[in-house]
Amino acid sequence: MNSVSPSPSADSARPADPARPASGVVAPPSLTDREPHVPPERLVAEMVPPPRFDAVRFGTYVPDPDRPSQSEAVQVLRSFAGGLGAKRTGHDRKRWFRRRAAHPGTDGPRGVYLDGGYGVGKTHLLASLWHATDAPAERKAFGTFVELTNLVGALGFQQTVRTLGEHRLLCIDEFELDDPGDTVLVSSLLSRLVDEGVALAATSNTLPGKLGEGRFAAADFLREIQGLSAHFRALRIDGEDYRHRGLPAAPAPLPEDEVVRTAHRTPAASLDGFDALLRHLSRVHPSRYGALVDGLGAVCLTGVCPVPDQSTALRLVVLADRLYDRELPVLASGAPFDALFAPEMLEGGYRKKYFRAISRLTALARDGERLAAL
C-alpha cells in the first residue's frame, strides 16, 4: 500500500491538526496518509462475506420470538440453499435453474430479496446463505451493491458477466439504486446472470419495486426497476435494531485528549482529524475504503462534526460499512454520531443509509469506549 507525505509548504498552509503530535513524537498511522491501490483481481477475490460474518450460520441467528417473519426468513433461506446444492455444470445447470425457483418445487423468481429495517440481521442471513451453499468459494460471490458496481467499472460489463456467470450464487448486500445509470447497469447485469443460471440473493431497506424512489425520477425507469423486481421473491423481515436491543444509550463522545492518548497506546490504531479525513475520502474511490483501513486495530477521530453535504455523507456511509465489516472500534471526540447528518438528510431519499451508518458507528463507538477504559 502506498502512502503520500504532504510537503512542508502544504503543512504550513494548513491549520494545526490536533490529531497530529508535536515534532519528534512517533505518531499513530493516519488514514489521510494512505493512498491504497486495489487491482481488479483483488476485487473479485474479496467477494466473500466480510470478517465480521466469517463464523455466522443459520444456527447462530437468534430470531426475535415476537417477530415471526425472522423465523420464516431462516426457513426460506435454508430451503433456498438446499436447492443450490447439486453440482451442475454447463447446459444442464442452466436448464435446471431456469425451471427451478427460489422455493424448490415452485415456479417464479430465481432469487430472494430480504427487505427490512437496519439491524434486523439481514446481512447475517445473507452471509449464512453463502456459507450454507454447497459450492467452492470461487463459485459463489458476496459483495455490497457498491462493490458490485465497482467490479463492473474495473472489469467492464462483458468480463463481469463472464466472471460471475460461472458462479452458482451471487449475494448482494445493501442493494440500493442511487442514480438512473446504476438502474440500467444492474438491471442488465442481473438479467444476463440469471440467463447464465446464477441464483441471486439480496438485502435492502427498500422493496425491489421501490428502489430509487426519492433519489431520482424512478418513474422514468419503471421498466428497469420492474425487471429487477421480477428476479426476486421479496421477504419482509420485521424487528428492532439488534445492535441496540436491551443496551444502554450510545456512549457520549470522548474528550479529545483521551482519544489521542488511546490512539498512541493502542497497537495499530489510526488517528485523524475528522475534517481532514472527510477531505481525503473525496480523493479515494469508495471501492478502496476497505483497503484504506487494512491492518488497523482501531480508528480514532478528533473533532467529529455534522457532515457538510450529501456527497460527503454518502462517502462516510461507505466508510462506516467497511469499519463495521472489519469490527474496528471507533473512538471519537466532538459531536455524537447521531448528530452527523442534518435533519433534512434524515428525512430525504437516503435516510435509510444514514440511519444504518449511525447504527453501525454507535455499535463501534461502544467497542471504542471499552478500549479507552483499558
3-state secondary structure labels for all residues of 183-249: HHHHHHHHHHHHHCCCEEEEEECCCHHHCCCCCCCHHHHHHHHHHHHHCCEEEEECCCCHHHCCCCC
Using the Cα atoms of residue 98, residue 101, residue 105 and residue 106 in order, give the sign of their dihedral.
negative
Mean pLDDT of the region 341-350: 88
Q: Are residues 331 and 366 in contact, defined by beta-carbon separation less than 8 angstroms?
A: no
Highest mean pLDDT among 79-93, 188-202, 227-241, 263-277: 263-277
Confidence tier at 104 by pLDDT (50, 70, 90) = very low
Topology classification of domain 41-242: Rossmann fold (3.40.50)
For residue 209, is pLDDT > 60? Answer: no
Say what percent of the chain tops pLDDT 70.
76
Q: For residue 291, which amino acid is it? A: A
For residue 354, is pLDDT > 70? Answer: yes
- On average, the pLDDT of the chain sits at 81
Confidence tier at 106 by pLDDT (50, 70, 90) = very low
Closest to 94 measured CA to CA, from 27, 193, 184 = 193
Confidence tier at 227 by pLDDT (50, 70, 90) = low
How crowded is the C-beta side of 174, counted as CA atoms within 13 Å?
24
| 75/129 Cα distance (integer angstroms) | 11
For residue 6, is pLDDT > 60? Answer: no
**For every residue of 156-176, which 3-state class applies, written as one string?**
CHHHHHHHHCCCCEEEEECCC
For residue 331, is pLDDT > 70? Answer: yes
For residue 279, is pLDDT > 50? Answer: yes
For residue 214, is pLDDT > 70? Answer: no
- Residue 52 grid cell: 465480521
CA-based R_g, the chain, Å: 21
- Lowest mean pLDDT, pick from 83-92, 157-166, 194-203, 338-347: 83-92
pLDDT in tens, 300-330: 999 999 999 999 999 999 999 999 989 999 9
Mean pLDDT of the region 5-26: 46
Closest to 372 measured CA to CA, from 294, 270, 255, 274 = 255
| 155/347 Cα distance (integer angstroms) | 36
Q: What pLDDT is recorded for position 31?
A: 97
Q: What pLDDT is recorded for position 324?
A: 92
Mean pLDDT of the region 133-152: 90
Q: What pLDDT is recorded for position 96?
A: 37
Mean pLDDT of the region 363-369: 94
Residue intervals in the chain for CATH 3.40.50.300: 41-242
| 72/78 Cα distance (integer angstroms) | 10
